[in-house]
Structure 1
Amino acid sequence: MSLDGRLARVRERIVRACGKAGRDPAGVTLVAVSKFHPAEAVAALRACGQRIFGESYVQEALPKMEALADAGIQWHFIGRLQKNKAKFAVGRFALIHTVDSVELARTLQNKALAASVVQPVLIQVNVDDEPQKAGVAASLAPELAEAVVGMANLDLQGLMVLPRALDDPQAARPAFAALRVLRDALATRLGRALPVLSMGMSGDLEPAVEEGATHVRIGTDIFGPRHA
Protein backbone atom coordinates (compact mmCIF):
# COMPACT_ATOMS: atom_id res chain seq x y z
CA MET A 1 0.00 0.00 0.00
CA SER A 2 1.19 3.53 -0.75
CA LEU A 3 2.23 5.95 1.98
CA ASP A 4 -0.86 8.10 1.50
CA GLY A 5 -2.99 4.96 1.53
CA ARG A 6 -1.57 3.83 4.86
CA LEU A 7 -2.05 7.32 6.29
CA ALA A 8 -5.66 7.35 5.13
CA ARG A 9 -6.26 3.93 6.65
CA VAL A 10 -4.96 5.06 10.04
CA ARG A 11 -7.11 8.17 9.89
CA GLU A 12 -10.11 6.01 9.08
CA ARG A 13 -9.37 3.85 12.12
CA ILE A 14 -9.37 6.96 14.28
CA VAL A 15 -12.71 8.07 12.83
CA ARG A 16 -14.27 4.65 13.43
CA ALA A 17 -12.97 4.48 17.01
CA CYS A 18 -14.30 7.97 17.68
CA GLY A 19 -17.66 6.98 16.26
CA LYS A 20 -17.81 3.98 18.57
CA ALA A 21 -16.97 6.16 21.57
CA GLY A 22 -19.21 9.06 20.57
CA ARG A 23 -16.26 11.40 20.15
CA ASP A 24 -15.42 14.05 17.58
CA PRO A 25 -12.43 12.86 15.48
CA ALA A 26 -11.15 16.43 15.56
CA GLY A 27 -10.29 15.80 19.20
CA VAL A 28 -7.66 13.19 18.31
CA THR A 29 -4.25 14.32 17.07
CA LEU A 30 -2.26 11.90 14.96
CA VAL A 31 1.47 11.95 15.75
CA ALA A 32 3.33 10.13 12.96
CA VAL A 33 6.32 8.43 14.58
CA SER A 34 9.24 8.98 12.23
CA LYS A 35 11.95 7.40 14.39
CA PHE A 36 14.45 5.51 12.21
CA HIS A 37 12.87 6.90 9.03
CA PRO A 38 14.80 9.41 6.92
CA ALA A 39 13.91 13.02 6.25
CA GLU A 40 12.83 12.02 2.74
CA ALA A 41 10.12 9.75 4.17
CA VAL A 42 8.96 12.51 6.50
CA ALA A 43 8.82 14.94 3.58
CA ALA A 44 6.79 12.45 1.55
CA LEU A 45 4.27 12.05 4.36
CA ARG A 46 4.17 15.81 4.86
CA ALA A 47 3.19 16.09 1.20
CA CYS A 48 0.24 13.82 2.02
CA GLY A 49 -1.00 16.34 4.56
CA GLN A 50 0.48 14.99 7.81
CA ARG A 51 1.98 17.82 9.86
CA ILE A 52 2.85 16.41 13.30
CA PHE A 53 5.77 14.00 13.70
CA GLY A 54 7.22 12.27 16.73
CA GLU A 55 10.89 11.51 17.35
CA SER A 56 12.51 9.47 20.12
CA TYR A 57 16.16 10.49 19.86
CA VAL A 58 17.32 14.10 19.92
CA GLN A 59 20.46 13.34 17.92
CA GLU A 60 18.37 11.75 15.16
CA ALA A 61 15.71 14.44 15.19
CA LEU A 62 17.91 17.52 14.86
CA PRO A 63 19.23 16.80 11.34
CA LYS A 64 15.67 16.12 10.17
CA MET A 65 14.51 19.38 11.67
CA GLU A 66 17.25 21.22 9.84
CA ALA A 67 16.57 19.46 6.54
CA LEU A 68 12.83 20.13 6.79
CA ALA A 69 12.94 23.54 8.43
CA ASP A 70 10.63 25.07 5.81
CA ALA A 71 8.12 22.21 5.66
CA GLY A 72 5.73 23.53 8.31
CA ILE A 73 6.23 20.50 10.56
CA GLN A 74 5.40 20.37 14.26
CA TRP A 75 7.79 18.04 16.09
CA HIS A 76 7.00 16.11 19.25
CA PHE A 77 9.52 14.32 21.44
CA ILE A 78 8.20 10.92 22.52
CA GLY A 79 11.29 8.99 23.69
CA ARG A 80 13.26 8.81 26.90
CA LEU A 81 14.98 12.17 27.29
CA GLN A 82 18.43 12.20 28.84
CA LYS A 83 19.19 15.28 30.91
CA ASN A 84 22.31 16.02 28.86
CA LYS A 85 20.15 16.23 25.73
CA ALA A 86 17.54 18.52 27.28
CA LYS A 87 19.24 21.70 26.09
CA PHE A 88 18.82 20.54 22.50
CA ALA A 89 15.15 19.64 22.97
CA VAL A 90 13.83 22.76 24.65
CA GLY A 91 12.23 25.16 22.21
CA ARG A 92 12.59 22.78 19.28
CA PHE A 93 9.79 20.38 20.12
CA ALA A 94 6.21 21.64 20.32
CA LEU A 95 5.54 19.05 23.02
CA ILE A 96 7.81 16.81 25.10
CA HIS A 97 5.77 13.75 26.09
CA THR A 98 8.17 12.06 28.48
CA VAL A 99 8.95 14.03 31.63
CA ASP A 100 9.23 11.41 34.36
CA SER A 101 11.25 12.95 37.20
CA VAL A 102 11.66 16.19 39.08
CA GLU A 103 15.32 16.20 38.07
CA LEU A 104 14.49 16.12 34.37
CA ALA A 105 11.79 18.76 34.86
CA ARG A 106 14.26 21.05 36.61
CA THR A 107 16.76 20.60 33.81
CA LEU A 108 14.12 21.49 31.23
CA GLN A 109 12.99 24.45 33.33
CA ASN A 110 16.55 25.80 33.54
CA LYS A 111 17.12 25.40 29.81
CA ALA A 112 13.75 26.95 28.97
CA LEU A 113 14.45 29.88 31.29
CA ALA A 114 17.85 30.43 29.68
CA ALA A 115 16.25 30.35 26.23
CA SER A 116 13.35 32.62 27.29
CA VAL A 117 10.75 30.09 26.14
CA VAL A 118 7.88 28.20 27.75
CA GLN A 119 8.17 24.49 26.96
CA PRO A 120 4.94 22.43 26.79
CA VAL A 121 5.37 19.02 28.44
CA LEU A 122 3.54 15.86 29.44
CA ILE A 123 4.30 13.60 32.37
CA GLN A 124 4.98 9.99 31.40
CA VAL A 125 3.34 7.59 33.85
CA ASN A 126 4.43 3.98 34.30
CA VAL A 127 0.91 2.75 34.95
CA ASP A 128 1.90 -0.93 34.89
CA ASP A 129 4.88 -0.45 37.26
CA GLU A 130 7.28 -2.15 34.87
CA PRO A 131 10.77 -1.73 36.36
CA GLN A 132 12.51 -1.67 32.98
CA LYS A 133 10.30 1.10 31.62
CA ALA A 134 10.54 4.87 31.95
CA GLY A 135 7.78 6.83 33.58
CA VAL A 136 6.89 7.97 37.06
CA ALA A 137 4.88 5.61 39.24
CA ALA A 138 1.22 6.54 39.36
CA SER A 139 1.45 7.03 43.11
CA LEU A 140 4.19 9.63 42.64
CA ALA A 141 2.60 11.44 39.70
CA PRO A 142 0.78 14.03 41.86
CA GLU A 143 4.04 15.11 43.50
CA LEU A 144 5.75 15.41 40.11
CA ALA A 145 2.78 17.25 38.59
CA GLU A 146 2.80 19.79 41.42
CA ALA A 147 6.53 20.34 40.94
CA VAL A 148 6.15 20.85 37.19
CA VAL A 149 3.25 23.26 37.60
CA GLY A 150 5.46 25.29 39.91
CA MET A 151 8.08 25.76 37.18
CA ALA A 152 7.32 28.98 35.31
CA ASN A 153 8.92 27.94 32.01
CA LEU A 154 7.19 24.59 31.75
CA ASP A 155 3.57 24.22 30.63
CA LEU A 156 2.09 20.94 31.88
CA GLN A 157 -0.56 19.87 29.39
CA GLY A 158 -1.34 16.30 30.43
CA LEU A 159 -0.09 12.73 30.69
CA MET A 160 1.45 10.03 28.51
CA VAL A 161 1.59 6.26 28.88
CA LEU A 162 3.32 3.37 27.17
CA PRO A 163 1.45 0.26 28.37
CA ARG A 164 2.99 -3.17 28.63
CA ALA A 165 3.40 -5.04 25.36
CA LEU A 166 0.64 -7.62 25.01
CA ASP A 167 -0.66 -9.65 22.08
CA ASP A 168 -4.26 -8.56 22.60
CA PRO A 169 -4.75 -4.82 21.93
CA GLN A 170 -7.72 -4.78 24.26
CA ALA A 171 -5.45 -5.83 27.11
CA ALA A 172 -4.02 -2.30 27.08
CA ARG A 173 -7.42 -0.77 27.84
CA PRO A 174 -7.03 -0.84 31.65
CA ALA A 175 -3.79 1.16 31.38
CA PHE A 176 -5.48 3.75 29.16
CA ALA A 177 -8.46 3.99 31.49
CA ALA A 178 -6.16 4.33 34.50
CA LEU A 179 -4.29 7.19 32.84
CA ARG A 180 -7.55 9.01 32.13
CA VAL A 181 -8.71 8.59 35.73
CA LEU A 182 -5.34 9.81 37.00
CA ARG A 183 -5.45 12.81 34.65
CA ASP A 184 -8.91 13.76 35.87
CA ALA A 185 -7.81 13.49 39.50
CA LEU A 186 -4.71 15.59 38.88
CA ALA A 187 -6.71 18.26 37.06
CA THR A 188 -9.00 18.55 40.06
CA ARG A 189 -6.09 18.56 42.50
CA LEU A 190 -4.16 21.19 40.56
CA GLY A 191 -7.20 23.27 39.69
CA ARG A 192 -6.26 23.45 36.02
CA ALA A 193 -7.09 21.73 32.77
CA LEU A 194 -4.82 18.91 31.60
CA PRO A 195 -6.28 18.37 28.14
CA VAL A 196 -3.73 15.97 26.66
CA LEU A 197 -3.73 12.17 26.97
CA SER A 198 -0.94 10.75 24.81
CA MET A 199 -1.69 7.04 24.49
CA GLY A 200 -2.15 4.46 21.78
CA MET A 201 0.09 3.16 19.00
CA SER A 202 -0.36 1.10 15.85
CA GLY A 203 -1.53 -2.04 17.61
CA ASP A 204 -3.82 -0.52 20.22
CA LEU A 205 -5.10 2.67 18.65
CA GLU A 206 -8.78 1.78 18.99
CA PRO A 207 -8.98 1.10 22.74
CA ALA A 208 -6.81 4.16 23.37
CA VAL A 209 -9.18 6.43 21.45
CA GLU A 210 -12.20 4.82 23.07
CA GLU A 211 -10.67 5.52 26.50
CA GLY A 212 -10.04 9.18 25.71
CA ALA A 213 -6.70 9.53 23.92
CA THR A 214 -6.13 12.99 22.47
CA HIS A 215 -2.79 12.10 20.85
CA VAL A 216 -2.02 8.73 19.27
CA ARG A 217 1.56 7.87 18.28
CA ILE A 218 1.54 5.80 15.10
CA GLY A 219 4.68 4.66 13.30
CA THR A 220 4.63 1.17 11.79
CA ASP A 221 1.11 1.36 10.36
CA ILE A 222 2.04 4.54 8.49
CA PHE A 223 5.69 4.18 7.53
CA GLY A 224 5.94 0.40 7.53
CA PRO A 225 8.56 -1.56 9.49
CA ARG A 226 11.38 0.49 10.94
CA HIS A 227 15.00 -0.23 10.15
CA ALA A 228 17.31 0.93 12.92
Structure 2
Amino acid sequence: MSRLSENWQQVHRRISAACQSSGRTEAPLLLAVSKKHPAEKVAALAALGQVHFGESYAQEGVEKIKQLAHLSLVWHFIGPIQSNKTKLIAEHFDWVHSVDRPKVLQRLSDQRPAGHQPLQVLLQLKVGEEVSKSGADVATLKDMADWAAKSASIELRGVMCIPPPSPDHATQLAYLRQAKVVFDDLRQQHPKIDTLSMGMSQDLAAAIEAGSTCLRVGTDLLGPREY
Protein backbone atom coordinates (compact mmCIF):
# COMPACT_ATOMS: atom_id res chain seq x y z
CA MET A 1 0.00 0.00 0.00
CA SER A 2 2.83 2.43 0.84
CA ARG A 3 4.51 1.75 -2.53
CA LEU A 4 1.24 2.29 -4.37
CA SER A 5 0.73 5.57 -2.52
CA GLU A 6 4.26 6.71 -3.41
CA ASN A 7 3.73 5.79 -7.07
CA TRP A 8 0.38 7.55 -7.22
CA GLN A 9 1.73 10.73 -5.68
CA GLN A 10 4.81 10.67 -7.91
CA VAL A 11 2.73 10.35 -11.09
CA HIS A 12 0.52 13.22 -9.98
CA ARG A 13 3.62 15.32 -9.32
CA ARG A 14 4.88 14.57 -12.84
CA ILE A 15 1.52 15.57 -14.29
CA SER A 16 1.47 18.81 -12.29
CA ALA A 17 5.01 19.67 -13.36
CA ALA A 18 4.24 19.00 -17.02
CA CYS A 19 1.08 21.10 -16.84
CA GLN A 20 3.00 23.97 -15.28
CA SER A 21 5.77 23.69 -17.88
CA SER A 22 3.32 23.75 -20.79
CA GLY A 23 1.08 26.45 -19.34
CA ARG A 24 -1.95 24.23 -18.81
CA THR A 25 -4.31 25.07 -15.96
CA GLU A 26 -6.37 21.86 -16.11
CA ALA A 27 -4.70 18.47 -15.74
CA PRO A 28 -5.68 15.52 -17.94
CA LEU A 29 -7.64 12.62 -16.50
CA LEU A 30 -5.39 9.90 -15.11
CA LEU A 31 -6.40 6.42 -16.28
CA ALA A 32 -4.68 3.62 -14.33
CA VAL A 33 -3.88 0.72 -16.66
CA SER A 34 -4.59 -2.30 -14.48
CA LYS A 35 -4.21 -5.17 -16.95
CA LYS A 36 -2.41 -8.17 -15.45
CA HIS A 37 -2.73 -6.73 -11.95
CA PRO A 38 -4.97 -8.43 -9.37
CA ALA A 39 -8.26 -6.96 -8.22
CA GLU A 40 -6.81 -6.46 -4.73
CA LYS A 41 -4.21 -4.04 -6.08
CA VAL A 42 -6.90 -2.17 -8.03
CA ALA A 43 -8.95 -1.85 -4.85
CA ALA A 44 -5.91 -0.54 -2.96
CA LEU A 45 -5.29 2.14 -5.59
CA ALA A 46 -8.99 3.01 -5.58
CA ALA A 47 -8.73 3.58 -1.81
CA LEU A 48 -6.21 6.34 -2.56
CA GLY A 49 -8.74 8.10 -4.77
CA GLN A 50 -8.14 6.58 -8.22
CA VAL A 51 -11.47 6.12 -10.05
CA HIS A 52 -10.71 5.32 -13.70
CA PHE A 53 -9.11 1.99 -14.65
CA GLY A 54 -8.14 0.57 -18.04
CA GLU A 55 -8.07 -3.06 -19.14
CA SER A 56 -6.73 -4.58 -22.37
CA TYR A 57 -8.15 -8.11 -22.16
CA ALA A 58 -11.92 -8.43 -22.14
CA GLN A 59 -12.34 -11.54 -20.00
CA GLU A 60 -9.76 -10.47 -17.40
CA GLY A 61 -11.35 -7.03 -17.23
CA VAL A 62 -14.87 -8.37 -16.77
CA GLU A 63 -13.72 -10.60 -13.90
CA LYS A 64 -12.31 -7.55 -12.09
CA ILE A 65 -15.40 -5.49 -12.83
CA LYS A 66 -17.52 -8.17 -11.17
CA GLN A 67 -15.16 -8.60 -8.20
CA LEU A 68 -15.08 -4.84 -7.58
CA ALA A 69 -18.70 -4.05 -8.34
CA HIS A 70 -19.12 -2.67 -4.82
CA LEU A 71 -16.71 0.17 -5.65
CA SER A 72 -17.71 3.21 -7.70
CA LEU A 73 -15.14 2.73 -10.46
CA VAL A 74 -15.20 3.66 -14.13
CA TRP A 75 -13.90 0.96 -16.46
CA HIS A 76 -12.22 1.64 -19.81
CA PHE A 77 -11.37 -0.98 -22.43
CA ILE A 78 -8.13 0.12 -24.10
CA GLY A 79 -6.76 -2.97 -25.91
CA PRO A 80 -7.16 -4.36 -29.43
CA ILE A 81 -10.73 -5.50 -30.00
CA GLN A 82 -11.49 -8.94 -31.43
CA SER A 83 -14.90 -9.24 -33.06
CA ASN A 84 -15.80 -12.18 -30.80
CA LYS A 85 -15.20 -10.02 -27.71
CA THR A 86 -17.39 -7.04 -28.61
CA LYS A 87 -20.46 -8.38 -26.78
CA LEU A 88 -18.49 -8.85 -23.55
CA ILE A 89 -17.04 -5.35 -23.85
CA ALA A 90 -20.36 -3.73 -24.73
CA GLU A 91 -22.12 -5.38 -21.79
CA HIS A 92 -19.62 -4.52 -19.04
CA PHE A 93 -17.37 -1.55 -19.80
CA ASP A 94 -18.18 2.16 -19.49
CA TRP A 95 -15.67 3.37 -22.08
CA VAL A 96 -13.89 1.90 -25.12
CA HIS A 97 -10.77 3.67 -26.41
CA SER A 98 -9.64 1.36 -29.19
CA VAL A 99 -12.35 1.30 -31.87
CA ASP A 100 -10.41 1.07 -35.13
CA ARG A 101 -12.81 -0.62 -37.59
CA PRO A 102 -16.39 0.11 -38.70
CA LYS A 103 -17.37 -3.52 -38.05
CA VAL A 104 -16.28 -3.28 -34.40
CA LEU A 105 -18.07 0.03 -33.97
CA GLN A 106 -21.34 -1.37 -35.29
CA ARG A 107 -21.08 -4.52 -33.17
CA LEU A 108 -20.49 -2.49 -30.01
CA SER A 109 -23.50 -0.34 -30.85
CA ASP A 110 -25.74 -3.33 -31.59
CA GLN A 111 -24.63 -5.26 -28.50
CA ARG A 112 -24.90 -2.50 -25.88
CA PRO A 113 -27.74 -3.74 -23.64
CA ALA A 114 -30.97 -1.80 -23.51
CA GLY A 115 -31.22 0.18 -20.28
CA HIS A 116 -27.47 0.80 -20.06
CA GLN A 117 -26.05 4.27 -20.40
CA PRO A 118 -24.56 4.83 -23.87
CA LEU A 119 -21.11 3.30 -24.29
CA GLN A 120 -18.51 6.09 -24.34
CA VAL A 121 -16.40 5.56 -27.47
CA LEU A 122 -13.05 6.81 -28.69
CA LEU A 123 -11.84 6.09 -32.21
CA GLN A 124 -8.25 4.89 -32.49
CA LEU A 125 -6.12 6.83 -34.96
CA LYS A 126 -3.06 5.15 -36.46
CA VAL A 127 -0.02 7.35 -35.86
CA GLY A 128 3.27 6.23 -37.38
CA GLU A 129 3.96 3.26 -39.60
CA GLU A 130 4.28 0.40 -37.09
CA VAL A 131 2.72 -2.69 -38.64
CA SER A 132 1.99 -4.17 -35.21
CA LYS A 133 -0.12 -1.21 -34.05
CA SER A 134 -3.86 -0.93 -34.65
CA GLY A 135 -5.64 2.21 -35.71
CA ALA A 136 -7.70 3.74 -38.49
CA ASP A 137 -6.51 6.21 -41.10
CA VAL A 138 -8.00 9.71 -41.05
CA ALA A 139 -10.63 9.07 -43.73
CA THR A 140 -11.90 5.89 -42.04
CA LEU A 141 -11.90 7.59 -38.66
CA LYS A 142 -14.06 10.43 -39.98
CA ASP A 143 -16.51 7.98 -41.56
CA MET A 144 -16.78 6.10 -38.26
CA ALA A 145 -17.33 9.36 -36.39
CA ASP A 146 -20.23 10.29 -38.68
CA TRP A 147 -21.79 6.86 -38.15
CA ALA A 148 -21.23 6.86 -34.37
CA ALA A 149 -22.87 10.26 -34.00
CA LYS A 150 -26.15 8.75 -35.20
CA SER A 151 -26.15 5.79 -32.78
CA ALA A 152 -28.37 5.88 -29.70
CA SER A 153 -26.43 3.19 -27.82
CA ILE A 154 -22.96 4.70 -28.07
CA GLU A 155 -21.69 8.23 -27.49
CA LEU A 156 -18.77 9.50 -29.54
CA ARG A 157 -16.27 11.13 -27.16
CA GLY A 158 -13.09 11.58 -29.22
CA VAL A 159 -9.81 10.06 -30.37
CA MET A 160 -7.12 7.73 -29.00
CA CYS A 161 -3.65 7.00 -30.35
CA ILE A 162 -0.55 4.95 -29.53
CA PRO A 163 2.43 6.54 -31.29
CA PRO A 164 5.68 4.68 -31.97
CA PRO A 165 7.85 4.66 -28.83
CA SER A 166 10.74 7.11 -28.73
CA PRO A 167 12.92 8.46 -25.91
CA ASP A 168 13.18 11.80 -27.70
CA HIS A 169 10.75 14.51 -26.50
CA ALA A 170 10.64 16.30 -29.86
CA THR A 171 9.86 13.07 -31.72
CA GLN A 172 7.14 12.20 -29.21
CA LEU A 173 5.65 15.66 -29.59
CA ALA A 174 5.61 15.46 -33.39
CA TYR A 175 3.58 12.23 -33.36
CA LEU A 176 1.21 13.41 -30.64
CA ARG A 177 0.53 16.71 -32.37
CA GLN A 178 -0.62 14.77 -35.44
CA ALA A 179 -3.38 13.27 -33.32
CA LYS A 180 -4.26 16.66 -31.85
CA VAL A 181 -4.74 18.08 -35.37
CA VAL A 182 -7.11 15.23 -36.27
CA PHE A 183 -8.96 15.65 -32.96
CA ASP A 184 -9.41 19.39 -33.48
CA ASP A 185 -10.60 18.82 -37.04
CA LEU A 186 -13.10 16.19 -35.89
CA ARG A 187 -14.50 18.61 -33.32
CA GLN A 188 -15.46 20.98 -36.12
CA GLN A 189 -17.93 18.35 -37.33
CA HIS A 190 -18.81 16.88 -33.93
CA PRO A 191 -18.58 19.66 -31.31
CA LYS A 192 -19.59 17.38 -28.42
CA ILE A 193 -16.40 15.34 -28.48
CA ASP A 194 -14.05 16.25 -25.65
CA THR A 195 -11.52 13.46 -25.10
CA LEU A 196 -8.06 12.96 -26.59
CA SER A 197 -6.57 9.82 -25.04
CA MET A 198 -2.80 9.79 -25.53
CA GLY A 199 0.27 9.65 -23.37
CA MET A 200 1.72 6.86 -21.24
CA SER A 201 4.55 6.68 -18.72
CA GLN A 202 7.34 7.39 -21.21
CA ASP A 203 5.73 10.26 -23.15
CA LEU A 204 3.52 11.74 -20.43
CA ALA A 205 5.07 15.22 -20.51
CA ALA A 206 4.95 15.44 -24.31
CA ALA A 207 1.31 14.30 -24.33
CA ILE A 208 0.34 17.02 -21.87
CA GLU A 209 2.17 19.61 -23.97
CA ALA A 210 0.40 18.35 -27.10
CA GLY A 211 -3.06 18.63 -25.53
CA SER A 212 -3.97 15.21 -24.17
CA THR A 213 -7.08 15.07 -21.96
CA CYS A 214 -6.54 11.46 -20.79
CA LEU A 215 -3.26 9.78 -19.82
CA ARG A 216 -2.98 5.98 -19.68
CA VAL A 217 -0.40 5.03 -17.05
CA GLY A 218 0.30 1.47 -15.92
CA THR A 219 3.65 0.33 -14.55
CA ASP A 220 4.57 3.70 -13.02
CA LEU A 221 1.40 3.44 -10.91
CA LEU A 222 0.88 -0.25 -10.22
CA GLY A 223 4.39 -1.64 -10.63
CA PRO A 224 5.54 -4.59 -12.79
CA ARG A 225 2.75 -6.68 -14.24
CA GLU A 226 2.16 -10.23 -13.01
CA TYR A 227 2.13 -12.26 -16.24
TM-score (norm 1): 0.93
Percent of matched pairs sharing the same residue? 38
2:6 maps to what in 1?
Answer: 5
- Give how far 1:67 is off: 1.1
1:106-117, aligned counterparts within 5 Å?
106-112=106-112, 114-117=113-116
2:25 maps to what in 1?
Answer: 24
Asked if 2 retains the 8 angstrom alpha-carbon contact of 1:102 and 1:148, the reply is no
Deviations 1:69-122 (A, max 9, x none): 11111111110111211111114222100111110011011112x534321100
1:14-163, aligned counterparts within 5 Å?
14-25=15-26, 27-112=27-112, 114-117=113-116, 118-163=118-163
- Give how far 1:130 is off: 2.3
1:217 maps to what in 2?
Answer: 216
In structure 1, distance between residues paired with 2:71 and 2:169 = 34
1:195 maps to what in 2?
Answer: 194
Asked if 1 retains the 8 angstrom alpha-carbon contact of 2:91 and 2:111, the reply is no
2:181 maps to what in 1?
Answer: 181
Aligned residues: 225
- Give how far 1:143 is off: 1.7
Find the residue that maps to 1:216 and give its secondary structure: strand
Call closer, same or farther: CA 1:212–1:149 in 2, change over 3 Å: same
- One-letter code of the match for 2:7? R
More displaced stretch, 210-219 vs 140-149: 140-149
Q: Once superposed, which parts of structure 1, at least 4 consecutive aligned residues long, lie more than 6 Å away?
A: none
More displaced stretch, 198-207 vs 65-74: 65-74
- One-letter code of the match for 2:182? L
- Give how far 1:63 is off: 1.2
- One-letter code of the match for 2:171? A
Structure 1: 5+ residue stretches without partners: none
Find the residue that maps to 2:121 and give its secondary structure: strand
**CA RMSD of superposed structures (Å):** 1.5
